Amino acid sequence: MTPPAREENVRPYGDKKGDGAVQVSFTLPVAKSAAATEAAKRYVAKMGLREPYVTLAESIAPEFTYFIVYARATHDVDMAGIVAEEAPAAALGREEIDRELSRRFGRRIVVLGCALESDAHTVGLDAIFNMKGYAGDYGLERYGAIDARNLGAQVPVAEVVRLVRETRADAVLVSATVTQNEIHVRHLTDLVDMLEAEGLRDRVVLIAGGARVDHALAKELGYDAGFGPGTTASRVAAFLLEELSRRAATASPA
């Protein structure tokens, strides 16, 4: 299928172009029954979606039913004028990035990774760091030119700052998963503030990642880049190569 023209109004595609096919899933706080299924259909209709078809109704607790409903949307979105920034990262493979990092820096780049304070989620962070990799893409621990140190979850901000100083880290990669009450914003901001207070902010490339993180949010919070769902390590490594090279080129001679 050819991608939509830049100024085209687009809508979801299922079977035929423009059919508006969507799938929604949600849980209603009612026991599984025919009435619950009817309620799910009516709820989807109230969302402005047509022809709701319940394809799954499953009891997940005595008073809760989980639904997957297919339906048709009739509205569309105009692609014209949409601007959404993403972290600049060339599509490079691990071997090329390794070669370039070694050639340009002549030493191993120290990269720290963590989830901050109360955040105990490690899977996203491990996907980026773990030697075995994620989605067919090896993690940073596999890169010969990168000294990748995964500090794990629930690392206090002050400890990260201490390790930045001690290891002379080139980059810090923070995974922020829990967003309840904007806690991720607070933790991410605390790290920037403390690095700034210690005069270390400009010495490290700061990257944030997580399910609710994007490049725009990360930039707004004082990070150099942000990566969301589906990120693979080579994209992050390519960004590191680009950003560290840019900094080296603009650094004034000591």
132 is annotated as an active-site residue: yes
Residue 209 near ligand B12 by CB under 6 A: yes
Residue 118 near ligand B12 by CB under 6 A: yes
Span from 89-97, 123-131, 163-171, 194-202 in contact with ligand B12 (CB under 6 A): 123-131
Q: Residue type at 236? A: V
Count of residues in contact with ligand B12, rule CB under 6 A: 28
CB atoms near residue 124 (< 10 Å): 21
Instruction: Report yes or no: 72 and 19 within 8 Å, Cβ to Cβ.
Output: yes
Residue 227 near ligand B12 by CB under 6 A: yes
Least Å from the CB of residue 154 to ligand B12? 7
Residue 120 near ligand B12 by CB under 6 A: yes
Tokens of 57: 């109704």
Rounded to the nearest angstrom, the gap between the alpha carbon of residue 247 and the centroid of all alpha carbons in its chain is 24
Helix (H, G, I), strand (E, B) or coil at 164: helix
- The tokens 């959404």 sit on which residue? 84
Residue 186 near ligand B12 by CB under 6 A: no
User: Pairing mode, if any, of strands 205-209 and 171-175?
Assistant: parallel
Least Å from the CB of residue 21 to ligand B12? 23
Distance CA 22, CA 45 (A): 12
Span from 91-99, 101-109, 188-196, 225-233 in contact with ligand B12 (CB under 6 A): 225-233
Distance CA 213, CA 141 (A): 23
The residue length of the chain stands at 254
Angle in degrees, CA 112, 116, 117, rounded to 5:
140
Residue 123 near ligand B12 by CB under 6 A: yes
Nearer to ligand B12, 97 or 236 (CB): 236
- In the region spanning residues 50 to 79, those forming contacts with ligand B12, defined by CB under 6 A, are none
Q: Which of 110, 155, 236, 238 binds ligand B12 (CB under 6 A)?
A: 236
Distance CA 211, CA 235 (A): 16
Q: Which of 116, 125, 163, 169 binds ligand B12 (CB under 6 A)?
A: 125
Q: Which of 17, 32, 46, 132 is catalytic?
A: 132
Q: Which positions lie near ligand B12, rule CB under 6 A?
A: 118-125, 127-128, 134, 173-175, 177-180, 207, 209-211, 227-231, 236
Q: Which residues are catalytic?
A: 132
